[in-house]
Amino acid sequence: MTWKTAPVATTVTRVRGLTRRAERSLRAARSAWSGTDVEAGAAHGFELEMPPWPQEGPGPTFPGLISQACTDAQLRTAAYRAWGDRLRVPQIYVHRKQWEWFFIAQAMEEAGVVRPGARGLGFGVGEEPLASWFASQGCPVTATDYPGGEHADAWAGSGELASSLAQLNNAGICDADEFAELVSFRRVDMREVPDDLVDFDFTWSSCAFEHLGSIEEGLRFIERQMDALRPGGVAAHTTELNVSSATETLETGPTVLFRRLDLERLAARLRAAGHEIQCTFHTGDYPNDRWVDTPPFTNTHLKCRMGEHATTSFGVLVRKAG
Ligand SMILES: C[S@@+](CC[C@H](N)C(=O)[O-])C[C@H]1O[C@@H](n2cnc3c(N)ncnc32)[C@H](O)[C@@H]1O
């Protein structure tokens, strides 16, 4: 993994000014959107002028991952597109959901933890292809999810809730015998990670830790799951980053939106515990990076509207103190 230092906002005044400007632009764009003719197939979205903080330094790269947001520039690289074949995703869209899987797989490969015998632990795995890809590389995997949880019906309806082992190799990424030997499934509530889950080389979750009820519960999960790693082990977890406000957000409920300040607070807590994490909050400067998709969603979906907010995907990448 290549770690690099990202710049931080210079003055509080400048950030506040930009926040107000971005919120004004979001309000204007929202009222424009409310007039669009969805039935006629008009564009479902609006343009976000900028996120509520300065876009300093170079944008995030792929390869060369740190903790970073999903941006269009990453999707245009050969390294990114190669994951389409490797994870058997038939078509690559300008879509943050695919980015989340590709980010996690790439992060683990760059960190050197994808090797025969290296143990992986996945949380809230749904039907994602990651467990079967790691197993196809010879990694014993413990895949977990929370069937029967509060929102289980909603997840099951969208094909995202893992309730049996077979679902996890749907695309046939891993040889069936190898898969049966290497992958086990366990019911785990991310709010109470069991103490016996230890000595893993890598842990991951995609689009899950924003669903634990509150910002604080999500942050607590990331800190708690570090105990499941062996020293030097790597964690990659993707989640929501609010890109329309630095201060107001969805703090509780079925889906929460982390603010930049929440993720910076998390990074500080992880560093204080001796772990290694580098962050950039650059959210991209291509046209697709400014586009906020609105329901019914399309496949130009790096940012989307959720409630009164615009959100994108953010990958948290941490190496445990070793
Ligand atoms: C949006 S789906 C993502 C599924 C999959 N990771 C993917 O990327 O396709 C959210 C997942 O989080 C899981 N989840 C929600 N609350 C959970 C909890 N308290 N403990 C464990 N998993 C949970 C759901 O069961 C579901 O599989």
Share of the chain above pLDDT 70, in %: 84
pTM for the structure as a whole: 0.87
Alpha carbon distances (Å) from 146 to 21, 86, 186, 213, 272: 41, 27, 9, 14, 30
The yes-or-no verdict on residue 106 having pLDDT over 90 is yes
Verify whether ligand 1 is closer than 6 Å to residue 145 (CB atom).
Answer: yes
**Whose Cα sits closest to atom 4 in ligand 1?**
126
Q: Looking at the chain, how many residues does it have?
A: 322
Residue 98 three-state SS:
helix
Verify whether ligand 1 is closer than 6 Å to residue 217 (CB atom).
Answer: no
Please identify, by atom number, the ligand 1 atom nearest to the C-alpha of residue 160.
4
DSSP 119-131: -EEEES-TT-SHH
- Are 290 and 84 in contact by the 8 Å Cβ rule? The answer is no
Q: How far is the CA of 167 from the centre of ligand 1 (A)?
A: 14
Backbone angles phi, psi at 72, to 5 degrees: -65, -35
- Are 36 and 296 in contact by the 8 Å Cβ rule? The answer is no
How is residue 311 written in tokens?
């959100």
Verify whether ligand 1 is closer than 6 Å to residue 210 (CB atom).
Answer: no
Higher-pLDDT residue of 1 and 258 is 258
| 269-316 tens-digit pLDDT | 999 999 999 999 999 999 999 999 999 899 999 999 999 999 999 999
The yes-or-no verdict on residue 42 having pLDDT over 80 is no
Supply the pLDDT for residue 43: 65
Question: What is d(CA 148, CA 118) in angstroms, rounded to the nearest whole number?
Answer: 30
Query: In the beta sheet, which residues pair with residue 120?
Result: 141, 202
Region 179-194: mean pLDDT is 95
Domains of the chain, first to last: 12-319 (3.40.50.150)
Q: Which pLDDT band, with edges at 50, 70 and 90, does 34 fall under? A: very low
* Nearest by Cα to 125 from 87, 168, 84: 168
Supply the pLDDT for residue 4: 33
CA dihedral of 82, 84, 87, 89, whole degrees rounded to 10: -170
Pairing mode of beta strands 300-301, 94-95: parallel
Q: How far is the CA of 271 from the centre of ligand 1 (A)?
A: 26
Q: How does DSSP classify residue 191?
A: G
The yes-or-no verdict on residue 12 having pLDDT over 60 is no
Question: What is d(CA 299, CA 95) in angstroms, rounded to the nearest whole number?
Answer: 6
Q: How far is the CA of 36 from the centre of ligand 1 (A)?
A: 33
Verify whether ligand 1 is closer than 6 Å to residue 149 (CB atom).
Answer: yes
Mean of pLDDT over the chain: 86
